[in-house]
Structure 1
Amino acid sequence: MGFSWDDLGQLALARQFPEAPTDLVGRLAAVGPIQSQTARSPILALAARFPGTTRDDLTAAYESGAVVRGSTVRGTVHTATPEQYAALGAATRVGQRTLWQRMLRLERSTLEDLWRATEEFATAWRTTDELADHLHRWLMEHEGRDDVTGQQAGRYLAFGHGGLVRRPVNGDWSGQGAPEYRTLPPVVDASVADAIELHLRSHGPASRHDLAWWSGVGLRVVDEHLADLGERLGLVAADGPDGRTYVDLADPPAPRTLAGVRLLPEFDALMCGYDPAGRERFAAPAHLTRLWSGANGLVLPPLMVDGRITGYWRATGSARRRPLEVVWFAGTRRPRRAELDAPVAALEAALGITVTDVSLSREVV
């Protein structure tokens, strides 16, 4: 018996909207790393899943080191527990390896040599300029040339291998200020297999394409680790509605439906946790195209109604008091105003703002 899109969605919702965790670190440990290309995404993601979570809660977790943020898989920024981050780092060093080798063209040394030297240099907090300068000096010393320093992509090579975490220089975790970096404190040894298991626990069931897209590693690598995990964890598999095979844990949580309205952040896991072709578990293809701009890579903050992504929302500006616009797509259920009271309160607590007015409109896609 195979999975339908509804089956896949309900099994994923059970992971992404769990009922048990009460503390912030436990909540993040349950739902998995949160893509944080926009600084507000982690707190919005947690507030949508656990109403009442505030940015002060998340800031305290960042400041204590119980939660970390940094550049990892696919060159993105993620917020994670240190243990989760170590698994992401392992996947990053495999998935980004070909790119790094092509750009750096190391002949006398290895990428491991560079990454080790970077982490030794960044045992104290370092700015991006300091890391870029370190990369330049290391390349000149060990390779006798430097082809990347000064290039935008070259700056990423100074901090993006998955072994460094970041914090805002100005101390405001909810803003997009300049970052500085430090080596991830020792936690546990981690591997690509740990990253794949993490994805299944946070987002499963998943196809091999979902796992490859999310982790940034190739399908061949995914297949190798799935075979090993299958023997160790007793993974189960079934065909999906798209003809792909979907893998899951042997003891997944019970499927969950989710009534009502949620205001999700840009790059939410319900979209970014899956290969583009696998996102139909939560949204219609035309709606996904509207939400995710191929031109600039930006994502509109999704509106979720009854466990499906059916529109988007905006609370633009930086003022403490601002209006909220909610847009639902034609052909989907219109959210009722009363259903927005709790999501708006969660949004206000998360961002520390007051919503002055809520407007509802329909968009034909």
Structure 2
Amino acid sequence: MHRISDEQRRIRLGRRHRLAPSARTASPVSVADAVVALHATDAASVFLSTCARLSEAGVATVERALYEDVSLVRQLSMRNTLFVVSQELAPYVYASNARAVAAKERRTFLKHLAADGNGLDEHWLADAEQQTLAALAAGGPVTGSELSASVAALRTEITVFPGKKYEAVQGVASRVLRILAAEGRIRRDRPRGSWTSSQFRWTTSEPWPFEDPAPAQAELARRWLHSYGPATEADLKWWTGWGLGQVRTALAAVGAEEVRLDHGAPGWVLPDDLEPEPAMEPWAALLPALDPSAMGWADRGFHLPAGHRKALFDRSGNIGPTVWWDGEIVGGWAQRADGEPVWRLLSDIGREATAAIEAEASSLSQWVGRARITPRFRTPLERELTA
């Protein structure tokens, strides 16, 4: 069986994820497609991940793609997580993942409405949605609180988990907006505040038309294998949130070929992707929390030394800001209150690598400017560095 080494996997990562200087691009859309999807749970991570891969980093370039051209869109999709994908890929992501997520969100909310016992049902929800869409069409983009001020139904409160120890009274606005966004009927527009803010304004949108999930899953698997292969079935299952049967069906649909990885496990690549790639120039990167290059596999042993995990992950398995050298995670970084990037190396990498990391930190500091970044998921090392 054909073998693909960990070294080759790191070379592919540097080139295909556009992290090596010679692989960087001027287009945020090219960045998103290179990694398939950008994690967007943290608003700042979208900008940090993208700018780390741009030939000329800048907030305005990313904002233009998100809010003016709308060539990048946010979707609640894989693993019920918010991602940013290209407009061209969005219908595939919707059909393969996001539509099922939206249906689950609707079912769950309707159960909460029924349990509240005040006669709120699917008819009430449909009417609340229509009022919301009408208000947005007349006066958007607006924030959720501004919408609630004009749409009385969004000011409704319900009791969730009645009779339980964790019973609570909640407003419905965020749930209604979440469902509409998951179904593609509204989208997140420019936030209130800076690019690091998650207080998005909302505007109307047209739902994506794709119907059959199987071809969409095959297309998503094809793109993922190009960017992340070789990888295991477990890696694709984890990344997509699909069942094992769906993973195997998608791999068969794209004609994926089995290869052997360094640790002996079987991996998969696209049928025309077996040849070794030439080495890249050495490269350094400071990547944000939840960056796709750190979160793309269930097993990250080929680029993440096991001893580094405790410092770089929170208790839920979210990775924090990472320092990279030539395809491996070698440390973590943070931003101090005065704006200075500070990092700690967890691997001995030598002077050349340290100088390259210093240059990346200087570049990061310049384009970030006066913005202050605190990851939503705090990790031990990031907390220590900012203390």
TM-score grouping bracket, smaller chain normalisation: 0.7 to 0.9
Distance 1:214 1:55 in 2: 28
Q: Which amino acid aligns with 1:4?
A: S
Q: Which one of the candidate residues 262, 266, 287 is aligned to 2:289?
A: 266
SS in 2 for 1:280: coil
Shift of 1:291: 0.8
Shift of 1:44: 1.7
Q: Which amino acid aligns with 1:165?
A: R
Which residue of 1 is the match for residue 365 of structure 2?
A: 348
Q: CA separation of 1:302/1:154 partners in 2, compared to 1, >3 Å: closer, same or farther? A: same
> Once structures 1 and 2 are overlaid, which stretch shifts more, 302-311 or 150-159?
150-159
C-alpha deviations, 1:227-278, integer Å up to 9, x for none? 2222xxxx32213244443222233483544513211111111221111xx2
Distance 2:217 2:204 in 1: 19
Which residue of 2 is the match for residue 203 of structure 1?
A: 228
Runs of 4+ in 1 over 6 A off after TM superposition: 106-109, 116-123, 131-137
Shift of 1:225: 1.8
Which residue of 1 is the match for residue 271 of structure 2?
A: 250
Shift of 1:328: 0.5
Indicate whether 1:240 and 2:261 are aligned: yes
Q: CA separation of 1:87/1:351 partners in 2, compared to 1, >3 Å: closer, same or farther? A: farther
The answer as to whether partners of 1:82 and 1:184 remain within 8 angstroms in 2 is no
Indicate whether 1:161 and 2:154 are aligned: no
Q: CA separation of 1:209/1:25 partners in 2, compared to 1, >3 Å: closer, same or farther? A: same
Distance 2:79 2:177 in 1: 12
Distance 2:336 2:12 in 1: 33
Which residue of 2 is the match for residue 324 of structure 1?
A: 341
C-alpha deviations, 1:182-238, integer Å up to 9, x for none? 4544667372223222212332222222112112222221112222222xxxx3221
In the alignment of these two chains, the number of paired residues is 335
Distance 2:306 2:233 in 1: 20
The answer as to whether partners of 2:188 and 2:201 remain within 8 angstroms in 1 is yes
Distance 2:100 2:311 in 1: 32
Q: CA separation of 1:156/1:185 partners in 2, compared to 1, >3 Å: closer, same or farther? A: closer
Gaps of 5+ in 2: 115-120, 159-167, 373-383
SS in 2 for 1:279: coil
Q: Which amino acid aligns with 2:196?
A: G
Which residue of 2 is the match for residue 358 of structure 1?
A: none
SS in 2 for 1:175: coil
Which residue of 2 is the match for residue 144 of structure 1?
A: none
Q: Which amino acid aligns with 2:269?
A: D
Q: CA separation of 1:170/1:99 partners in 2, compared to 1, >3 Å: closer, same or farther? A: closer
Distance 1:291 1:120 in 2: 42
Which residue of 2 is the match for residue 175 of structure 1?
A: 196
Indicate whether 1:37 and 2:57 are aligned: no
Distance 1:9 1:119 in 2: 47
RMSD: 4.0
Distance 1:245 1:134 in 2: 53
Q: CA separation of 1:331/1:339 partners in 2, compared to 1, >3 Å: closer, same or farther? A: closer
Q: Which amino acid aligns with 1:192?
A: Q
Gaps of 5+ in 1: 140-146, 356-361
Q: CA separation of 1:71/1:94 partners in 2, compared to 1, >3 Å: closer, same or farther? A: closer
> Once structures 1 and 2 are overlaid, which stretch shifts more, 265-274 or 100-109?
100-109
Distance 1:177 1:328 in 2: 30
Q: CA separation of 1:68/1:160 partners in 2, compared to 1, >3 Å: closer, same or farther? A: closer
Which of these two proteins has the greater Rg computed from alpha carbons?
Answer: 2
Which residue of 2 is the match for residue 3 of structure 1?
A: 4
Q: Which one of the candidate residues 50, 53, 63 is aligned to 1:49?
A: 53
Indicate whether 1:85 and 2:61 are aligned: no
Distance 2:24 2:286 in 1: 21
Which residue of 1 is the match for residue 117 of structure 2?
A: none
Distance 1:246 1:256 in 2: 21
Shift of 1:336: 4.9
Shift of 1:339: 1.8
When the two structures are superposed, what TM-score results if normalisation uses the length of structure 1? 0.74
Q: CA separation of 1:249/1:148 partners in 2, compared to 1, >3 Å: closer, same or farther? A: farther
Shift of 1:86: 2.7
Shift of 1:347: 0.7
Distance 1:338 1:269 in 2: 25
Shift of 1:7: 2.8
SS in 2 for 1:283: coil
Which residue of 1 is the match for residue 314 of structure 2?
A: 293
1:110-121 correspondence runs (5 A): none
Between the two proteins, what is the percent identity of the paired residues? 21
